[in-house]
A and B are shown apart, each in its own frame.
Chain A
Amino acid sequence: VTDLLSERQQLAYIAGQAADARLNLELETEGMTLNIGPQHPATHGTLRIIVRLDGEQVVWAEPSTGYMHRGYEKLTEVRTYPQINTLLNRIDWLGSFANEVPFILAAEKLMEVEAPPRAQYIRTILFELSRLANISLFLGDLGVQLGAVTPAFFAFRDREHVLNLIEAVTGSRFHPNYDRIGGLKEDLPKGFIEDCRAVMRKMRTYCDQIDDLLMGNEILQARTRGVGIIPREIALQYGLSGANLRASGVDWDLRRDQKIPMAWDKCDWKVWTHPDGDSFARSWVRLQETREATKIVDQLLDGLPPGPIMAKVPRIIKVPEGEAWVSTENPLGEMGYYLVSKGDLGPFRLKIRSASFNNISVASWVLRGVYVPDIVTILTSLYFILGDIDR
């Protein structure tokens, strides 16, 4: 493995490997167990992390989940397809609409229905708006975790505009429940296009501000560069996805790299990667993705085709027997549904593959050997939503 790593990555790797052996040897210190959470400001919810310390250094760490487990996989088995949408909204609650899309696509795949082009465009637009609503908060939160409060206010200020757009379209700010098998609930409201363009301009300004405030900030760089390095091999093995994977130098984005009835292939945008794999790289890639998302939305608004927003589907939805796997590149990473249908009103089994579950499972690997203050930056840069871990 070490052949593939850069020098800096090797050091981190060795530090992690050595940490286990070091306890009680150097200074004959006693280990200490520290609970971070379940109620801790750095954990966005109720993730509890148990760390074993040797002095200031983490010897062993283990996230303890389950404080928000809602049993969605069981609940989906007693609900109908339209009802399931409301549950899925609550998995990653910052980018709710994006949760609905892969499920709807999976059902459509089995029903052999495809949404009309206009619906695909609007879906993609809202998907990217969800991304903006989600990641803009990350960028603000990144500052807060490092002691800089201002970016959080910027984030909440500008995220508000995006939420207003989502509300204008779907009627709901957080849990849209807007996607339907075969299309969408409604068309865009009047005036949306102009408003959306204005908001995209604002979001680009916001990105520039964050770029100046945070990314160029010496303190942030000192706290995040070379901290929490995840090499490519490890990232792939753990199934990291989204910006966490791309920050480890893997050029992989499901928006580009799979055939899917959405409109991403209709526009010109970039997949950003970073070779370092550290906390800074993860944050930096997310910032670039936010910019790209505004460009995608702008281009989709330009090319928005007219036409219906709903394909022909039966009034009572029954999905034919079969199995389908559909995943999309959600704000947090790869979100997928393995849908098993027996031809009923609801699924026989729905496996929810959420991004944060894999993304945070690497924590016990990456936290080994780091110092206590770095725990916070690493967890922040891995970026998880509790509902997305526990489901």
Chain B
Amino acid sequence: MSETVEAPALPGDGLRQSIIEELRRRIGDGVVEHLLKPQDDLWIRVRADRWADTGRALRAMGFEYFCFLSAIDWKPSPFGRGEDDPTEPPPERTTEIRQGYAGGETRFQLLARVTDLRRHVGVTVKADVASGDEDGAGTFAVQSWHAIYAGANWHERETHEMYGIGFEGHPDLRNLYLPTDFEGYPLRKDFPLLARIVKPWPGIVDVEPMPSEEPADAEGAAIVAGEDSAAGAEAGPPGQGAAAPDAVERALGPAPTDAEETPVPAPSGAADTLRHGSPEAAPETATDTSTVTEETTESAPDHVTPADRAEASVARGAADTVVAEAAAPDVAPVAAAAAADVPEEPPAAIPTVAGTAEEVEAIAIAAAASSREADQAAAEQEAAGSPGAEATVGVASGVAGAAGADAVDIAEAAGPGAAESAEFESANVREAVASAESTPAPESASDADRDTGTESTEAGGSPS
């Protein structure tokens, strides 16, 4: 069992350069071209008829770990991205085949990656696969890596069924995924994605204007708008979902390159109040405000002095403070911070927050207090399986949206289990309670570096 954080020797470009040279030495003119992207990765293109030699050489050079094998069809798809308006004539598309890193000459390229675990370096190898004719209909095959890397078996089967590339010497090129009588090679670019042919991309036919605004024309092409609205609804940049008007404003903004504004670090002392920005989030806010993070306390703004907090907490209502102090004296500042947060919410949110926050606060403070108590006490509470403890933790862990009924569910679900756990805890109470972070026994047994494992695991099994 090895120590971790020792920084591993990261592969340098010098190491990668030496790999190219060694491979050249081993397979000679088998290496056609290579690309060494500094501080990133290494691509080597080899001749297809030396494919097996390449595999053997790489394995002998220490690349023992087989990562994957696949292929690329470099021909641009005649169907584009499947987003054409079916009522329009199909647009002109380029048919130029342009290969990627390390160049290439053919439409199909093999792609494989192997890793050297000792030197912490991986290499991606490519090979041009010449097809019988330009359509890829001819038979074409390369040597199989199956005998070199056994794991290539399935990868070659997949590549065969998806691209139609054969592998000489492969024991069994049956289809892995598709039915046996399936015709065509699905991952070839000229294989249509039928779902898009039968039913056009909804983003193009259902272009809806943004709410309360005229259709976007700054971008001109409808395809961009459709694309964008779909993308925005699905996975827009942060803030777009929360503040719709803002998003509209930006969507209609003049320059598409206008960089997305990053969320400003919340000035209000709560670094994680992002979703409190909108009034809709108010109910959540109420729950959230209740449990106060250390973070909040730490990053409170300078102008809120402890004295201020104390005042605020007094102003929030004596009852809360009493609860907090009764629970644990040192929680008072935390409670104060919670209270101090509330006025900083957006004005619209205040009534809601104030309404529910007070109710939840009391519970939350209790929760915070209980979780802040010594670990031992907490563990014992759990061990005792007291419903109160479970309920509190339930509330604490049932964060946004999981309040109320959910919390009850959690508590109930945990009920029988807690009883069970009580047995365990009481059995182990001498050890386990000593610290809630009780490290597993195997760790102590792991001193002997890479011991037989039998010893260490048995030690783990019986913490006597």
Contacts and interface: CB of A to CB of B under 8 A. Distances in A.
Interface of A: 65-66, 69, 71, 73-75, 77-78, 80, 82-83, 85-86, 109, 116, 150, 153-154, 157-158, 160-161, 164-165, 167-168, 177, 180, 182-195, 197-199, 201-202, 204-205, 207-209, 211-212, 215-217, 221, 233-234, 236-240, 249-252, 256-259, 265, 267-276, 280-281, 284, 288, 291, 298, 304, 306-317, 321-325, 327, 334, 336, 338, 340, 342, 344-346, 349, 351, 353, 357-358, 361-362, 365, 390
B100 A322 contact: yes
A308 B3 contact: no
A270 B289 contact: no
Contact of B262 (A259, A271, A298, A310): A310
A192 B402 CA distance: 13
Contacts of A252: 65, 117
Given A192-B272, A212-B424, A215-B461, A271 B4 contact: yes
A211 B443 CA distance: 13
A237 B77 CA distance: 35
Given A66-B177, A190-B272, A336 B68 contact: yes
Given A190-B293, A275-B453, A317-B231, 4 more contacts: A78-B201, A315-B260, A322-B100, A349-B73
A192 B293 contact: yes
A51 to B, nearest CB: 16
B289 A190 contact: yes
Nearest to B196: A78
User: Which has the most chain A C-beta neighbours within 10 Å: B1, B285, B379?
Assistant: B1
Interface string B168-209: 000000011110000000110001010010000100000000
Contact of A271 (B2, B40, B65, B368): B2
Given A189-B288, A270-B4, A316-B256, A66 B176 contact: yes
A276 B270 contact: no
Interface in B69-87: 70, 72-73, 77, 81-83
B274 interface: yes
A86 B284 CA distance: 25
Contacts of B364: 191
A324 to B, nearest CB: 8
Nearest to A280: B457
Given A192-B399, A313-B237, A362-B151, A239 B66 contact: yes
A265 B463 CA distance: 31
B457 A284 contact: yes
B397 interface: yes
B106 interface: no
Contact of B264 (A237, A308, A340): A308
Specify which of A167, A208, A324, A357 lies most central, judged by the most chain B CB atoms within 10 Å of its CB.
A208
A275 B262 contact: no
B262 A308 contact: yes
Given A82-B235, A164-B397, A186-B274, A194 B368 contact: yes
B143 interface: no
A71 B186 contact: yes
A384 B201 CA distance: 34
What 5 pairs across the A-B complex have the smallest Cβ distances? A191-B291, A216-B461, A82-B235, A168-B399, A190-B288
Given A78-B83, A310-B262, A236 B100 contact: no
A307 B263 CA distance: 9
Contacts of B462: 216
A154 B289 CA distance: 31
Contact of B234 (A82, A183, A201, A346): A82
Contact of A310 (B237, B273, B285): B237
A306 B453 contact: no
A322 B41 contact: no
B410 interface: yes
B90 interface: no
Nearest to B271: A306
A239 B397 contact: no
B56 interface: no
Contact of B399 (A189, A215, A221, A268): A189
B250 to A, nearest CB: 7
A212 to B, nearest CB: 6
A62 to B, nearest CB: 9
A199 B378 CA distance: 13
A83 B81 CA distance: 13
A74 B163 CA distance: 12
B382 interface: yes
B66 A237 contact: yes
B410 A160 contact: yes
B304 interface: no
A168 B2 contact: no
Nearest to A344: B81
A85 B399 contact: no
Contact of A315 (B100, B176, B237, B271): B237
6 contacts: A66-B177, A153-B417, A192-B272, A212-B428, A215-B460, A323-B43
Contacts of B140: none
